[in-house]
Structure 1
Amino acid sequence: MSKGKIDYVELPSASAHELTRAFYSKAFDWTFADYGPDYSAHEGDAVSVGLQGDREEALSAPLPVIRVDDIEAAFDAVVKAGGHIAKPIFAFPGGRRFHFIDPGGNELAVWVTA
């Protein structure tokens, strides 16, 4: 498995999705692409930022996302290292990912492009 790197952070924005999007657009001149009615992403920088506006999907804290080349190998490595799988591998527009909880209680995701 190749080394992974955090290249995406997902921010919860369910209570004020449009206001959050407008804030980052105005404060930092970010542009966003929409991926459905409740998800927007600012892409192209070293670390991209997604705004999760779906109350059912949004976490209470930011979600760091690690990009890898082989998601199955990463899944196995996380399990063998003692991580707890919070969401098994699933598809989303743009790729596949899974979520895990590290020993410190932090939730992260791992993804691979489609």
Structure 2
Amino acid sequence: MPSETINYLELPCANIAKTKTFFSDCFNWQFTDYGEEYTAFDAQGFTGGFYKSINCSTQATGGCLVVLLSDNLEESLAKVKANNGIIIQEIFDFPGGRRFHFTEPSGNEFAVWSQI
């Protein structure tokens, strides 16, 4: 078995304060700041951070799609909308479940999926 595993994920972020507020309010994420241009998160199923950048990560630009797992897809969709996330693809079926895609305040694309 290989010893190399995905350990950490870093994403670009144009507005760290707005991105932190979005994920805190929408998904209850906790952050640790390391100066004004970096914030880290953990205990979200994976560990990572957002770094200050004018770029963003979307599938259209070849970025990695981060997919969150939900127990209740409709409730997750409502939370994203209530916290000013932009829905770029409404809930759709795919082999294995259903999901939707959204962008957060810094423009990064995420998806949320559910098996039902």
Q: Which has the higher strand share?
A: 1
- TM-score, normalisation: structure 1: 0.50
Normalising to structure 2: TM-score of the pair? 0.49
